[in-house]
Amino acid sequence: MHDPINVALLGSKFMGRSHSNAWSKVARFFPDGPAPAMRAVAARDAEAVASFARTWGWEQGSTDWRAVVEDAAVDLVDVATPNHVHAEQAIAALEAGKHVACEKPLAGTLADAEAMAEAAERAPGRTFVWYSYRRVPAVALAHRLVASGALGRIYHVRAAYLQSWAGPEAPLVWRFQGDIAGSGAHGDLGAHIIDAVRFVTGEEITGVEGAIEQTFIEERALAEGTGGEIAGAGAGTGGAKGRSTVDDAVLFLARLSGGGVASFESTRLATGYHNANRFEIHGEKGALRFDFERMNELGFYSKEAEPAVQGWTTIDVTRGGDGHPYAAAWWPDSHGLGYEHTFINQAADILAVLGGRAPQVPLPDFADALRTQRVLHAAVESARHRTPISLNEGRPR
């Protein structure tokens, strides 16, 4: 029998809801690990955070995040705030002796991410980063297949994260403000596909050979109120406009540590796609392909099958009895999972680790997420300086 893990959440918007849902449900579906106790949530608005705490089952709401972090009863601090405060809050939690789970990207800037990783090295607590797409059963299975040697040597990877919500009608919410977000589609979406490629292939990105950074919509209406949690839909706007200081799209080419090559594309202006987080991986013995818009499926091609029947196989990754990751905790075969399950699966793995057990697939910590942050930074440097960037040296070559 495990003692409960007392959790405190910082942030109460989109990610705050996703994380709250995970902490409230995880023990029901993954009962073998420690159970979380939802001790406190902190956010800026007193009335709103009190309502949020009641709705989502937190024992208390607070506007003083430092008091929450320093509460001696808290074991794990979950940082789900905008990127520019990740470093201050996570470092304070680590210095208070807490475990820390932080939203992605690790930080808005490389300097902040490095400071967070350095603080984690000195601290007794464990660190985790919410690259929750690793917990999609199909992506976790892809990781296992590559690790088993099913693809052999990796030749080529193409990854893209395509959304379309950020048209001219979207107001100037924080995601378009560089001093808060750090970057636009690149940090928000590109971080996910960089992490996915590193995770699935087991290889590191050793250099960026070239990149394009583009802001298509340079001015946006100033939002009056928060509106929708991503795009600001429904927020009132006046006649005033402000400057968008982030990218709308970034594309880059890279080299992998095993000798393969890769392409990455992140955009919020891919008309026709709402959340197409996808990758293809081609190796000497086979290939894999995944698209989150069909998240319960994984495409697999094996050159080792008889030539007459070689072709793409679509695997329905919902069969826990057949060894599909996480599926056994959920529903009968072909009763698919959704976006929210990725967070519950990650919460289960975090609790497993804190309870002394191994996660189903590797969890990124601050050191791991720093490697993704360095790739994000290198791609921007390559685009702005129009030069290749070596990740080994961290500067133009």
How many whole angstroms separate alpha carbon 150 and alpha carbon 162? 28
Give the length of the chain: 397
Count of CB atoms situated within 10 Å of the CB of 204: 16
Domains of the chain listed by start with CATH number: 5-129 (3.40.50.720), 135-365+372-381 (3.30.360.10)
- Reading the chain (397 residues) residue by residue, the pLDDT tens digits are 689 999 999 999 999 999 999 999 999 999 999 999 999 999 999 999 999 999 999 999 999 999 999 999 999 999 999 999 999 999 999 999 999 999 999 999 999 999 999 999 999 999 999 999 999 999 999 999 999 999 999 999 999 999 999 999 999 998 999 899 889 999 999 999 999 999 999 999 999 999 999 999 999 999 876 545 665 555 556 679 999 999 999 999 999 999 999 999 999 999 999 999 999 999 999 999 999 999 999 999 999 999 999 999 999 999 999 999 999 999 999 999 999 999 999 999 999 999 999 999 999 999 999 999 999 999 999 999 999 999 975 443 3
E strands present in 124-230: 127-129, 154-162, 205-214, 219-224
Residues 6+ apart with CB under 8 A from 270: 162, 163, 164, 276
Q: Which residues pair with 212 in a beta bridge?
A: 251
CA atoms within 13 A on the CB side of 223: 22
How many whole angstroms separate alpha carbon 106 and alpha carbon 141? 25
Token pair recorded at residue 158: 């193409």
The predicted model scores a pTM of 0.94
- Hunting for tokens 């601290």 — which residue is that? 123
- Residue of 380, 382, 374 whose CA lies nearest to 110: 374
- Residue of 324, 329, 325, 316 whose CA lies nearest to 363: 325
Crossing angle of helices 366-385 and 191-201, in 10° steps, is 120
